[in-house]
Chain A
Amino acid sequence: MENKKTKGMSVHARRTFSYIILVLVTILCLFWFYVLFINATRSNGELQSGFTFIPSTHLLENWKNLRAGTLPILSGLKNSLIISCSCVLFSVYFSTMTAYAIHAYDFKLKKFIYPFILAIMMIPTQVTALGFVKLVDAVSIFRDSPVPLIATTIAAPVTFFYMKQYMESTLPLSLIEAARIDGSNEFRTFNSIVLPLMKPAIAVQAIFTFVNNWNNYFVPALVLKSDDKQTLPILIARLRSADFLKFDMGQVYVMIAFSIFPVVIIYLFLSKYIVSGVALGAVKE
């Protein structure tokens, strides 16, 4: 009885302790976004006079000033959106197709190709960046263009692997067999039977692909040179290298908020799927 009581107490104490730590961690995670939001609403003068936790009223004014400035912010947004959305379409569609090829068919080279794709998952894109830049320079339609950035994502081993894992648990081969008996050709089976069944996995990978490409900086910065082609991360880097103190700080914060908050908003709506998607991808042996 005595023993049981102390044990109960200790669980209670441990629970309280974990809540305290969890709340602290939560504050640590959200603090930066809160400060960013507050500062984006304050004018340069207010920002210079010190920090407060209360939002001000200059958000729209900062935004107007930013748009009137030298950074092509709207075209940056447009480019980021075009590239990220195209990458989602290409990457998700063709990764599912690749996974389907490995999952549904038995062919001679399969024994070789599957481990090969898993092995190339480890190659960092930075390592091939030099060759990539040389390729882009050599082909005129690739120069200063989003095309090579989008086309690369057709071969996305990580997305492929996720799709393959998901297919193993949800796509019975008998279903494909049945479609064949009904006279559906292979391409149509893939488009009208396999793809709809893969919707949950496609949604998860679409989000991840979007976010990765939205945030991507290293390779796009090497490829996209002209003002009207650049994406938001490149503009952020330009903002950083511009003479900092001459700048209106309110604009700087609005620019950062503008790059971060779209993803935060998407995340707020889809967090359930994203968090469980991470866990799903993790159960790999």
Chain B
Amino acid sequence: MRKTKNSVSYNKWGYIFLIPFMTAFIIFQFIPLLNTIYNSFFENYLVGLNQVGPTFIGLDNYKSLISNGDLLIYTRNTLILWVMCFVPQIILSLTLAAWFSDASLKLKGTRFFKTVIYLPNLIMASAFSMLFFTLFSERGPINSILIQLGILSKPFVFFSSTIATRTLIAFMNCMMWFGNTTILLMAGMMGIDGSLFEAAQVDGATSTQVFFKVTLPLLRPILLYVMITSLIGGLQLFDVPQILTNGTGDPMRNTMTLIMFLNNHLYSKNYGMAGALSVMLFIITCILSLIIFKASGHDKRK
């Protein structure tokens, strides 16, 4: 009896300890979210130095955002960049993780390799992007190496080619994230019961068969997690293309991502459109995670 009374009086401390988190969350995240949604229903922008609005216009911002066509282009760009980054990344990470956790391979120095492949994840994306911009510029070291090797006769202008620019962005992101993915997948593989591998080997399965028939199916939950976080991260792609193209999304706006679009609206103080775009991004993020969660639910029937 005394104990229950005690624990009840202690439990009010649960609320007290939550106060800082909740206060910060409400002021700096929740109110801004509501404010963003609120702004999306108003006409509010600058023409030269003249402020237009704010006037309530209902869903007009959303309508003009969708009918304009830019949104579609930038969504496409963002998704293309994500796929170009994610596909090689997941293949490389699965391969490396399988090797690192394969006891029969007995690889030496795995800690060194893990340390090295995780390093790019901690690098300032904007500085890394600036580095690539200088290295791959017309008179930069990469062109001079390629010319010295005789591969090129004159400098190749990487940043006026859509494919080259997109590849560079995807490559940088892939480099920055494959180490993280490898370590996550490895943790998942280590969690698999070792006797399953032994049983498969006794049955005469090759290492490729073990990988596709045992490891991969058991990894599904963590693969799903990796894919969701990567997709949500991919939608937020900003620093690398912003710095690489100086915010222009060149060539021909082909590397302009959704967040760069949002950033442009925020800088030009076009708050109505920025609000509508933010809300749409918010909804897209929610829907995408739901789709993936659902899809994995269906797969369980197999």
Interface string of B169-213 (1 = CB under 8 A from A): 000000100011001101110010000000000000001000000
A18 vs B92: C-alpha distance when bound (angstroms): 12
A188 to chain B: closest CB distance in Å? Answer: 12
Interface size class for chain A? 35 or more
Out of A97, A110, A127, A274, name the residue touching B281 (CB < 8 Å): A127
Q: Closest CB of chain B to A131's CB: distance in Å?
A: 3
A41-60 residues at the B interface, CB under 8 angstroms:
48, 50-51
Decide if B92 touches A218 in the complex (CB within 8 Å).
Answer: no
Given A256-B127, A283-B187: A271 and B235 interface contact (C-beta under 8 Å): no
Point out the residues of chain B lying under 8 angstroms from A154, CB to CB. 20-21, 23-24
Given the complex, which residues of A lie within 8 Å of B263, measured CB to CB? 218
Main secondary structure of the interface of B (DSSP, over half): helix
Tell me how many residues of B have a C-beta within 8 Å of chain A. Answer: 99
A166 at the A/B interface (Cβ < 8 Å)?
A: no
**Which among B7, B141, B242 has the highest number of chain A CB atoms within 10 Å?**
B141
Which of A214, A241, A285 is close to B246, meaning CB atoms less than 8 Å apart?
A: A241
- Determine chain A's interface SS by DSSP, over half rule: helix
Q: Which of B6-32 contact A (CB under 8 A)?
A: 6-7, 10-18, 20-25, 27-29, 31-32
CB of A64 closer than 8 Å to a CB of B: no
Contacts A22-B99, A50-B144, A126-B238 supplied; 7 other A-B pairs, CB < 8 Å:
A101-B14, A105-B13, A122-B289, A239-B130, A240-B133, A260-B124, A271-B119
A-B contact pairs, 29 of them (CB 8 A): A14-B207, A15-B107, A22-B113, A25-B117, A29-B117, A30-B119, A32-B128, A32-B131, A51-B144, A97-B17, A98-B21, A107-B15, A117-B21, A124-B235, A128-B278, A129-B262, A130-B278, A135-B35, A151-B28, A155-B29, A218-B263, A239-B130, A249-B134, A253-B131, A260-B127, A264-B122, A271-B115, A279-B183, A282-B184
